[in-house]
Amino acid sequence: MTDLHPPLLFQPLALRGLTLRNRVVISPMCQHAADGGHATPWHLVHLGKFALGGAALILTESTAVDPRGRIGTADLGLWKDSQVAPLKAVVDFVHANGAAIGVQLAHAGRKAGSQPLWEGGAALSEATLAADAEPWQRLGPSTLPAGPGWSAPAGLDAAGIEDVVQRFADAARRADAAGVDVVELHFGHGYLVASFLSPHANHRSDAWGGSLEGRMRLALDIARRVRTVWPAHKPLFARLSVVDGSGEGGWSVDDSIVLARALADCGVDVVDCSSGGLTEETRALPVPRGLGFQVPFAERLRSEAGVKTQAVGMIVDPAQAEDILDRGQADLIAIGREALHDPYWPHHAAAALGADPGYERWPLRHGVWLAKRAPGLARARADQAAGNP
C-alpha cells in the first residue's frame, strides 16, 4: 500500500476548518501534574511526545472550568486567565510538530476531590478539601453522594446552573486564546453533566430533571453556549458515557442516541464514546473488557444518530483500528494507555499497514536516523536467523 492509497487509519479527516493528518487521537488521561491549574513542563513532554509520535489530535486531560470541580488537587484548569500562557507553550510545540490539540473541559460535580490513581483514587476528606489553597465544593443535581466515602453534594439551584454553563463558555474562550484546535465537553464518567443525565443521580422535578428532555437540558445548554463563543471553524467534541453502568433504569444507549442527535443540532461535530463511571461502583462497567469493548457504542451512535464518532477502549493493534474504520463503526480511533506504552504507536501502525515503508512520516530528526539504520539492521537480523556469526 502506498501513500497514494493509504489505509483509512492514515487518511486525513476534515472537521470544519481543521484537517487532521490521520485518524489517530490521543485520549484524555489525568496526569495530576499541574500547578494551581497551570500546565507544567510535565505536560509539555507528556503531550508533546505524542505529536512526535504521529498522532493527529492530542486531547489534554480533564481540564477544570471551576476550581470547585477539579477531579484532583493538581488538575489542569482554564478557570482563570493566567492558565492560558502555560497551555499555549504546549499548544505551540504540538502545532510545530504537525499535530492538532484539543482541551477536554470538565466539571467533576459530586465526584470532585479524589486521590490520584497511584494513591488509591479514593474521595478526599472534607478536611483535606477545606485545607486546599483553591476552593472546593461538590455539586450535583441532587444531594445524592457518588458512593461510599463521598460526601453529599450541594444541589445546584438555577443561578448555580447558569454559573456552570457560563464557566464552560469562559474556559472555551481561554482555550481559543491558547490556540487550541478542538474543545471536548466532558459529559461522561459520572461527573457533573453525567449526573444530571442519569435518573439514578438526578431526582429533580424542575426543568433540569424528570423527563429525558429535562435531564439533557444542562448538557445542551452548555453545548449551545460554548458553540456561540467557540470559533465556527473549530470543531467541538462531546464525550459521553454511552451507558453509565448503573443498572436497570439508568442511562442507556437509546438515551445516548437521542442526546447525540440533539448535540449535533447544537453544533457538536464528534461524539467520543466511552462508558460507565456514574458512581464509584460503576467504574468497572458490567461489559466484558475485551479488545475494543466500547466500539459497539460508537457504531450505534454513528449509525442511528447520524453523527461522527470516536471509538476508544482497548484498541491496541493497527489491524484492529483499521478494521473498525473499514466497517464504518467509527470515524476516529482514540488510544490512551496504549499510547503510554508506545508513544510512537501511530508511526509503528503506519509501517505495519504499509503506509510508511521509509520512515517518511516520522519527525525529520528521527526518521533520517532510523532510515539510515534500516538496511544494516535487516542484514543483521537475516544473519542471525541464518545462524551466521
Domain spans in the chain, listed from the N-terminal domain onward: 8-357, 364-389
pLDDT band at 11, cuts 50/70/90?
very high
Residue 2 pLDDT > 70: no
Local structure of residue 111 (DSSP, 8 states): G
**Which pLDDT tens digit goes with each residue over 211-264?**
999 999 999 999 999 999 999 999 999 999 999 988 788 999 999 999 999 999
Average pLDDT over residues 307-312: 98
pLDDT band at 388, cuts 50/70/90?
confident
Residue 3 pLDDT > 70: no
Active site residues: 191
Residue 285 pLDDT > 60: no
The dotted CATH code for 8-357 is: 3.20.20.70
Residue 135 pLDDT > 90: no
The pLDDT assigned to 281 comes to: 59
The pLDDT assigned to 1 comes to: 47
Contact 100, 58 (CB under 8 A): yes
Measured between alpha carbons, how far is 77 from 105 in angstroms, rounded to an integer?
8
Grid coordinates of 382: 537475516
The pLDDT assigned to 287 comes to: 66
Strands (E), 21-178: 24-26, 57-64, 76-77, 100-106, 139-140, 154-155
Measured between alpha carbons, how far is 60 from 63 in angstroms, rounded to an integer?
7
Measured between alpha carbons, how far is 60 from 38 in angstroms, rounded to an integer?
13
Average pLDDT value for the chain: 95
pLDDT band at 279, cuts 50/70/90?
confident
Residue 189 pLDDT > 90: yes
Say what percent of the chain tops pLDDT 90. 91
Average pLDDT over residues 90-103: 98
Residue 55 pLDDT > 70: yes
Say what percent of the chain tops pLDDT 70. 97
Measured CA angle at 273 (ends 323, 174), to 5 deg: 120
pLDDT band at 282, cuts 50/70/90?
low
Task: Show Cβ contacts of residue 140 under 8 Å, excluding neighbours closer than 6 positions.
Answer: 109, 110, 153, 154, 155, 156, 192, 195, 201
Grid coordinates of 201: 443521580
**Which pLDDT tens digit goes with each residue over 331-354?**
999 999 999 999 999 999 999 999
Grid coordinates of 135: 476552593
Task: Show Cβ contacts of residue 49 under 8 Å, excluding neighbours closer than 6 positions.
Answer: 343
Q: Can you give the pTM of this predicted structure? A: 0.96
Residue 65: name the closest of 105, 38, 13, 34 by CA: 105
Residue 280 pLDDT > 70: no
Contact 16, 330 (CB under 8 A): no
Measured between alpha carbons, how far is 287 from 279 in angstroms, rounded to an integer?
16
Residue 101: name the closest of 167, 46, 64 by CA: 46
Task: Show Cβ contacts of residue 323 under 8 Å, excluding neighbours closer than 6 positions.
Answer: none
The pLDDT assigned to 288 comes to: 74
Amino acid identity at 196: F
Q: Which residue has the higher pLDDT, 247 or 60?
A: 60
Grid coordinates of 379: 542484514
